[in-house]
Structures are given as structure tokens and as C-alpha cells.
Structure 1
């Protein structure tokens, strides 16, 4: 394992960006339990939809609302394999519905609301891989989930208060590994079928860096912790129990140790990265979660010190107008890859 390459060098330096007292953000956090009934299927292998037999640990949707005095933005993370626009059917746009419902409840612009899935696989099939319409009760559950996601944004908006932001970076070695490797014979190997180390020419893509955003109240109390890491949460993929996998364990540990109001996992570009042990073992879920959560706790602790070396940094990001789903579909249609989409829901924004 020591021979495995990563896309970043280990980073030990602490970097912080703190608003001056008069320039603090307004920050609010909220959560809601979105654990599904057992009648809602998960994505299986064959057949593609399977059903859970119980719940190992609950699933959550968490929202953070951040404002600068002029504009408010909301980010929602969901313990889910994905969140597809057409998960409720081709005639509906689920994401647009969530955004619009939240806008009606708290006034945040639909274009200022982002939904993010942890990509945990032991969760309902919200990724739209197979239609849920054939399953009794699924549409009613999706409507309830839409309302929950909108409501958690409104709850976070009502809980806002002054806070400052600190940013740190750490490393979590030994959790993720490249999914596909190239041997010295020129062949591609899946991680579980890899040859001996001395017969591997390219260890594939992985990234051990974890980026931590810590929002503190002005008295130093932790408000919210966002942590970004790249690895498939597939430790217990295709098993009969609902689970948020290792991101859920990590978030719970961070909240317990730091006392923050909410810890939110932000998934990275994990397509080519899997857990190193490739088990269906909840013991490994705990190990990975403690490894990741422990590093985040360390960074939050370092940043909480009153003499923490820091500097104020303002970052200007280039902004471009995103194409609507209609335009994107038209571009693909021009290449003959899709059939024409049905019209979107009347009165709902698409962005």
C-alpha cells in the first residue's frame, strides 16, 4: 500500500480565512431525518432494484444557509446515492421543485440553492437509475422528501447568526484506492483483482486530501463543519440494511467531539476511487468513518486556537450562466444520443 500514488502531496500546513468582526457571515444549520420506509428500493445488481430488510443507521439531509448581508445561498447534503432531476418521472423536475418550494418558504432564490448527494450506495435509488414509479407508495414518499428538503433549508435560514469561516487541509491515508490499475503487462485490473505490487505500473487515481470548512460563532463556538473528501461510500454496497456508510460515521463523530451544530460531508470526484478493503462489513464502515472524522476533528481543533496563524483572503470566482436542461438536452439530441424530453413542470424554475 505504501507504493500507491496519490494526486496530492501530504499537506500539514493550516490555511485559514477569517472575516473581520464587522464582516462576519450569517450562518444557519439544520437537519432532518430522511430514512425511507422499507418499501422504497435501493440500487442492486440483479435485479437492479432490491429492498432493504432493516435500518442499520439513519439517513439525514442537512442544510447550511450562508449570507453576506446582500445575498443568501443554501447547500443541502443528503445521504443518498444521487438526486436525479427526473427521479419522480420524465414529466417532473425534482430538483427544481425542491428549489422552488424552499424559495416559497424562506425567499432564497432557486438559483442560490444547491443539492449534494453523499453517494452512499446503501440508500434509496434517488439517482434515477431505474424508475421508482412502479413501486407502490414511492411517488408519495418522493413528494414528502421534496417537502423535507425544502423545509430543512427554511429551518437553517431561521437559525442564522453571525459566524466566521476558517479553512484547513489534512490527509487521510489508507481509506481510498484507485478503482482501476494498470499492470506491467499493459492490462487493466480492478482493485480487488490486482496483481502483486511489483507488477503494477500505474496505481490509478486517488486523493488523500480532506478539505475542512469550519464556521465558528463569534464567541468561538463551532457552528458548522463542511468536509470534502473523495471516495466511493460503497463499504456496505448492496446489503439489506439502510446505511449512510462511512460519511455518516464521520459526521456523527465530528458533531459529538466538536459540539458543532452540523457536520456535512461533501463528496469529491470519487468515480475512480473505492474503499481499500472492498468489504460489506460494518466494522470497516466504522474504521473509515473514524479515520476521516478524526482528521477533520484534528483540523477543527487546530483552527479553534486563538493564536491560530491565519490571514483574511477574498476569493473572486468567475461566474457563467448555466444552461437549462432543455438546452443541454438539445445539444445531446443534435448528436442523436437522446430522445426528446417531455416539457418541464409549469411554473417551476430550471437552472
Structure 2
């Protein structure tokens, strides 16, 4: 298959050193705002291959916007406490925000924190359960048009942030943590297994790395030096608590801890680093997979890393904000008609087995029919798509040393590390699940090894490397010449 890449370069790129020098002398401004995106109790929860209904609210979900400006150019990030977002929703929200603020659409990134205790509002599972409910006379678990509500809240957050701009200075911190784990393991039988379970005697070694970096972009008031807001980025699945209460998982406790230190008005945003194959489960210990104490434990640990390194934060002395964006056409897997027809039959049987109790979990924490349900769902999902999907890679330069990369989907840790290794910038912060939660985007190596993430991926092998190459090319274009 011939792979096509269509590039659109946006934004204001400084092309010579004299212009760059002038840009560095222009003050940076920033504004923040958040909009509540908590769904009604009784909605379906996302991140599962069976139906889970919410029964309460642990903490509210938010769309948090940070707008940065230097000169006439503005850039906006929105971080949503959701498992993901679709291109359709993010495109509408970005367009609405752009029309209200005149921030170019290509300068707006809408990202998800990947909380597994947020609403299920798109995708095959949502459509399956919704259609089943309608066949019975109505869907009691969808009390509002959540996508339309979400689009408006995202646009409102950007609009309000844009209206609250103040002169600031920026700081950058790169710390480390050690509580995340690659969840794919080489087994004694030669296979690779996802979440093989605590103390599994057949585990040989992890099948991939983690990225231990805890990264922060701090925004301080230019006059008082007070901490106004911050973006913390870390790569670990926000799927620690389980249960049926709506909540943001560990980013909520990160926020609470940072507010306790920096002040109640401090604005904390969280971006998910590459962690398609990374979670919190330590298979060397006999501990429960989910626990209500985990989000608090991990959120506080991240905050402690930030707080403990406040004195080491480096001031961005010569800011030179600029952004480039490029569209990439990724090839999708194409199921056969027989696979699609079989999936329609099999998937109903699998869900009925779950509803009637014919669903037994094995020692690895997966259901006996789990991978089959994943595979059948994927075929039905792909049957509704074309053979390619257009995704967007965005890169924002902060200064000569720091850049932020926005990628779609659930990116494997190794792909993010590849970008960092090849980047011409000293500090490269990679944020995932931006503008679209494509699906899992594994490495070529992982595709050959198989297991859950590969079974659940809709893209062809090599798609992740295409995104990596695109990000590196944009980083190199944004790196000023010496």
C-alpha cells in the first residue's frame, strides 16, 4: 500500500535570526479558564468492553484551557477529563473557539487525560448499547446531547481564557517518577501478554519501556512572580480506581496537592504523555488491580516531584512561541466481509454472556472472552470507516530549548521516547490523545508481538513511526539556526 502524507504548515514561523531576536523581546501573555463537563449520573462509563453505569460523582470533570500569546500570535491548549475525543467533536469545538477568539484552528489543541471514569459518548460500544436501549423504547443513560454540550464547553473555556490574558513569565521543569510500569510482558512460552497478573510465575521481562519524565510548563505572573497556572505531563494510564463514580482519576489529586502548595487560585492542567502500553500495575507485588487509594497516591507523588523541584525550574529567558501543524494520512486495517459478518453474530453472543453471568475472569485480570470481544468490536468499527484516517501532529516551540508535541491516539512509550531522542530541542514534551483518540498506536515491534493493544488497534503497522517522523520533521523546522 502506498502511504500518503499530506502536509499543511500553519502559524507564524520565524525564518531568520534577526526576526527571532525581535520575537524573543516581546512579552508573553497567558490566560486560563475551565468549563464543567461532568455528565449526568447514570451515564455509561468509558474504557470498558461491557456496560458500566455511573452511580455517583467523586469529583467533577473539566475542560481546562490555557492560552498563550506572544505578539499577535496566540495558541490554546484544552485538557479534558475524558477517555478521549473524536475528530468530529474536536474540529467543531476548535472551529467555534477560533470564531470567537480569532485564534487559528491550527493553533488549538484539544487533548484528553484518558480518565476511565468519564462518560462513554462515542464509538462502537456507545452505539451498540445506545441502539439496544432504543430497541427497548429509549435510552435512560443518555440524558443530554453530550457531544454538543462538550463542544460548547470546550469553546467556552478557550473563549474565557482568551479574555483573561495577563503578562507572564514561563518556567520549565523536567523531573522523574518511578511508579509507572510497562504492562506488556514477555512470557516463558515466547508470547507477549498484556497485564499478566500479579506474581505471575511465567513472566520473563517487560516488553517495552516507560517514560519516567514528569514535565511541567509553569506560568508565573510577570510582576509578582506568583504561580498562576501549570501544565503537568506524565505518561501513565488514568485507570487506577475502577468503580462506578465519575471522576478524573489521579490528575484530580495532582491538582488538589498543587493548589495546597501554590494557592487555591492556582490552575492545574494535566497532559497525558505516551503510555499506550503503560499503567500503574506492579506485577512483582500481590496488590489489587484497582483501589480507591491509588489515584491519591499517584497524584500526590507527581505533585511532590513538582514541588520538590521548584527551585530547579528554569526560566524561559528568551521565549519565541511558534507552532507548526501537519496532517498525516494513516492507513487503516481492512477486515474481510466474512470477518465483519461473523463479528455481528459473535458480538451479540459475547455481550449476552456478560449479561447472563457467563463471564469468568482469569488470573490475568482479563475475561475469557475479552480479546474476542475486542477483536469483534474492532471489525465492526472498521467496517464503518474508510481505508485511511487523517490525523494531525502539532508542535509548539516555547524557546530555543523547549517544544511541546501534540499527537493523536494512545501512543506507545517507545514512540514518544523516539521523538525525544531525535528532537533538536533539549526539552521535548509529548502529549497524546490530542484532537482524536484514534485507538492504540503501537510500535512495529509490538504489532509483531500481538496481545490486547495490537488487537484493539485499527491502524496498520508503521503508523506510529509515521507520526514520529512527522513530529521530528516539525521539531527540526522550528529549531532556530545557530
**Counterpart pick for 1:145 among 146, 150, 159:** 150
Q: How does 1:294-305 map onto structure 2 within 5 Å?
A: 294-303=304-313
> Secondary structure of 1:43's match?
coil
TM-score (ref. length: structure 1): 0.76
Offset at 1:339?
4.6
Please give the residue correspondences for 1:1-351 in structure 2 after superposition, counting only pairs within 5 Å: 22-43=25-46, 45=48, 48-85=50-87, 93-126=88-121, 128-131=123-126, 134=131, 135-136=139-140, 137-138=142-143, 140-173=145-178, 175-183=179-187, 186-193=190-197, 200-202=204-206, 204-219=208-223, 220-237=225-242, 239-259=243-263, 261-277=266-282, 279-303=289-313, 312=318, 319=324, 321-322=326-327, 328=329, 332=332, 339=384
Q: Deviations over 1:144-175 (max 9, x none)?
A: 222111101101001111111111111111x2
- Secondary structure at the aligned position of 2:66 is classed as strand
CA contact (8 A) 1:79 1:123 kept: yes
* Greater relative CO (CA pairs within 8 A, separation 6+): 1
Show structure 1 runs of 5+ residues with no match.
Answer: 1-18, 86-92, 342-349
Q: Tell me whether 19-28 or 37-46 shows the greater mean CA deviation.
A: 19-28
Task: Say which SS state the counterpart of residue 126 (structure 2) adopts.
Answer: coil
Paired residues, number = 305
| Distance 1:251-1:309 versus aligned 2 partners, 3 A rule | closer
CA distance in 2, matches of 1:334, 1:192: 29
Superimposed CA distance per residue, residues 112-131 of structure 1 (whole angstroms, 9 cap, x where no aligned partner) = 21110000101112453423
- Asked if the contact 2:121–2:146 (Cα under 8 Å) also holds between the matched residues in 1, the reply is no
Give the conservation status (yes or no) of the 8 Å contact 2:185–2:203: no
Q: CA deviation at 1:209?
A: 1.1
3-state SS of 1:321 partner: strand
CA deviations on 1:206-230 (whole Å, 9 max, x unpaired) are 1211111111111211121111110
> Counterparts of 1:213 and 1:172 in 2: how far apart (Å)?
17
The whole-number CA distance in structure 2 between the counterparts of 1:20 and 1:198 is 57
User: What's the TM-score once normalised by structure 2's chain length?
Assistant: 0.57
Describe the SS at the equivalent of 2:327: coil
SS of alignment partner, residue 322 of structure 1: strand
Segment of structure 1 superposing worse, 252-261 or 133-142: 133-142
Q: Which protein has the bigger helix share? A: 2
The 10-residue stretch of structure 1 (35-44 or 69-78) with the greater mean CA deviation from structure 2: 35-44
User: Any conservation in 2 of the 1:81–1:127 contact (CA below 8 Å)?
Assistant: no
Do the aligned partners of residues 108 and 241 (structure 1) sit closer, same or farther apart at CA in structure 2, a change above 3 Å counting? same
